[in-house]
Amino acid sequence: MQAQTLTREMQDWVAAQLATGYTPHEVFQALLDAGWQAAAANQALGLPVPGAAIPQPAQAVPWVKADASGAMVDAGDKWVTVSEHRSAPELWVFGNLLSTAECEALMEAAEPRLARSLTVDIRTGGEELNHDRTSHGMFYTRGENEVVSRIEARIARLLNWPVQNGEGLQVLRYGRGAEYKPHYDYFDPGEPGTAAILRRGGQRVASLIMYLQEPEEGGATVFPDIGLRVRPQRGSAVFFSYALAHPASLTLHGGEPVKTGEKWIATKWLREREFI
């Protein structure tokens, strides 16, 4: 296949789309739809081209060991059911990870502390408001109370990853119309603020999204690259790992807008090393 040449017009168009607020993934997909090869699209977006250096994969990531049937996982203080498992990316959907009482306890203690959700500013390493994320949230400190400690210990056993390698549990509330557009959870190695972020515990290598309350309609967690939609259900969770901080991880995901009711989730991000 003949290589495609980047033109100034194409580069100007890409810059204009990003400035308007489209994500790199959306622009990448638009270029593919227009007939551009992936290598040229990556190059236009400043992403690695085939054969170029890409981030080194993490030496280890959290992992799940199901029982012989593949339907249950020992989480220490309880057995968790497996609703779905995929290997590209490594993704598991769990049932009954949290009890109703645990969900309600997390929500009740979090509600007075909720504020408009921020995202990491990868240019500076700080935080910023992002129009792609319209939820309200808060962070528990690790081991903040008995319920949080119990859940963290369960997650550590479930995912074979030390408690200290996890960020604090984040609780998020999505009201009607609130969403989080598709994004990656890892920190982009090519951004100037990433080095400062990684000093706190290395790269993120996995995410666990736990559903504390399902909305009446909408709010599914979507994975566009693999065509998966996970419907929120109280007590259930979706886990996915990403050894490589790159779109090749296939971990692009987002939260669809809530149409009716409220969605509450608790997210646990896991790092390579102890998070400080």
CA distances from 203 to 38, 118, 199 (A): 26, 19, 9
Q: Is 224 exposed, middle or buried (0-12, 13-18, 19+ CB in 10 A)?
A: middle
Instruction: Tell me, rounded to whole angstroms, the distance of Cα 105 from its chain centroid.
Output: 23
Taking the model in full, what pTM does it have? 0.79
User: What angle is formed at CA 242 by the lines to CA 130 and CA 114, rounded to 5 degrees?
Assistant: 35
Give the per-residue pLDDT at 195: 92
Question: How far apart, in whole angstroms, are the C-alpha atoms of residue 221 and residue 240?
Answer: 12
Return the pLDDT at 51.
Answer: 45
pLDDT at 121: 57
Judge residue 139's burial from the number of C-beta atoms within 10 Å of its C-beta, 0-12 exposed, 13-18 middle, 19 or more buried. Answer: middle
Residue whose structure tokens are 């059911």: 81
Segments of the chain scoring below 50 in pLDDT: 1, 48-53
Q: Is the peptide bond before 57 cis (omega within 30 degrees of 0)?
A: no
Q: Domains along the chain?
A: 1-53 (no CATH), 72-271 (2.60.120.620)
User: Which tens digit of pLDDT belongs to each residue from 40-98?
Assistant: 777 776 654 444 446 778 889 999 999 999 999 999 999 999 999 999 899 999 999 99
Give me the pLDDT at residue 46, please.
62
